Amino acid sequence: MTQDIASPFAPLDNPSQWTRGLLFGVVIMLVASIGSDLMQNELLSRAKTGNASQSEAAADDVREKVIGGLYLLAVAVAGIAFLVWFRRAWRNLKSLGGRDLKYSTAWAVGGFFVPILNLYRPIQVMREVWHGSDPSNLERDLQPDGPQIRNQLPTPAMIAWWWGLLDVSMLLGRTAIRIVLGDGSTIDQLHAANTLYILDSMVCIPAVVLAIRIVNRITRWQGERWSLIADLQVEGSVLPSVV
């Protein structure tokens, strides 16, 4: 169990706005990337029959590098914003009546970067944030056996789909990279790798959209749950210690 000290409740509105906006930017770049990769596949198909000029290949290379660079920048900035939001969301749990939490603040961010562990720890922490933010669960969580019940709840479908799509996207991307860095870079190999990149982007788009929905839901829930706790305090109800 985590031994973190409870922090004052910090509204998620500002970090969630930044996170949603930047994630939407990632979606735009994914759509642009799909369009660019489709154009490259068309060029590669013509190159096999000798119907592609050097100037077309040079222009295609520049376009792919620019879009690829902008996409990586968008992912990096949106990723930082998401982690800032996620860390704050977890730190709010104790102020929202969370007791006997299974993970620590460090896992809210660190779980994304530890090899092997990053395949499953982030979804575990997200599940804890989800259930600990749901205002409909407040009364249950404040009961003596509340934490035990909460820790046995299943992973919500939205979170399971979000993480599953990210895992599929990662697998497709790594497979494409292996092809490019393999024994050679023939036109067929480049075409195959490019097709995998397109599939990767197509899978990643719904994953990012789900991330935006998750950010929306948890941000709204935490505000509602904090209001419920404030009402209980006004009414003089005794809340269990959350430290």
**Residue appearing with tokens 């950010």:** 215
Average pLDDT for 87-100: 90
Whether the predicted model's global pTM rises above the 0.95 cut: no
Please tell me the distance from the alpha carbon of residue 189 to that of residue 195, in angstroms, as a whole number. 10
The verdict on residue 34 lying in a domain is yes
CA dihedral 44→46→51→55, nearest 10 degrees, is -40
Please tell me the distance from the alpha carbon of residue 84 to that of residue 89, in angstroms, as a whole number. 9
Listed in sequence order, the DSSP H helices in 92-186 are 105-110, 121-133, 138-141, 146-151, 157-180
What percent of the chain shows pLDDT beyond 90? 59
In the prediction, which pLDDT does 147 show?
81
The verdict on residue 214 lying in a domain is yes
The verdict on residue 4 lying in a domain is no
Q: What kind and span of H or E run contains 242?
A: none
In the prediction, which pLDDT does 142 show?
82
Average pLDDT for 207-233: 93
Q: How many domains does the chain have?
A: 1
**Residue appearing with tokens 């210690």:** 241
Would the pLDDT of 185 be above 80? no
Would the pLDDT of 132 be above 60? yes
DSSP letter (8 states) at residue 5 = P
The verdict on residue 243 lying in a domain is no
List the helix and strand counts (H, then E) for the chain. 8, 0
Length of the chain: 243
Q: Which amino acid is at 232?
A: L
Residue 147: how many other CB atoms lie within 10 Å: 21
Please tell me the distance from the alpha carbon of residue 8 to that of residue 109, in angstroms, as a whole number. 19
What percent of the chain shows pLDDT beyond 70? 93
Would the pLDDT of 237 be above 80? no
* 74 vs 150, residue with greater confidence: 74
Average pLDDT for 141-168: 90
Q: Six-digit token pair at 171?
A: 């697998």
The verdict on residue 104 lying in a domain is yes
The verdict on residue 6 lying in a domain is no
Would the pLDDT of 242 be above 70? no
Question: In sequence order, which residues have a C-beta less than 8 Å from that of residue 84 and are 6 or more positions away?
Answer: 15, 18, 19
* 40 vs 232, residue with greater confidence: 40
The verdict on residue 57 lying in a domain is yes
Q: Which domain holds residue 20?
A: 13-232
Q: Is the distance from CB of 6 to CB of 105 less than 8 angstroms?
A: no
Q: How many CA atoms lie within 13 A of 165 on its CB side?
A: 19
Q: Which long-range contacts (CB under 8 A, 24 or more apart) does 224-230 make?
A: 224/135, 225/96, 225/97, 225/133, 225/134, 225/135, 225/138, 226/9, 226/11, 226/92, 226/95, 226/96, 228/135, 228/138, 229/95, 229/96, 229/97, 229/138
Q: Of the spans 5-14, 95-104, 172-181, which averages the highest pLDDT?
A: 172-181
In the prediction, which pLDDT does 115 show?
87
Output the CA angle 102-104-108, nearest 5 degrees.
110
The verdict on residue 5 lying in a domain is no
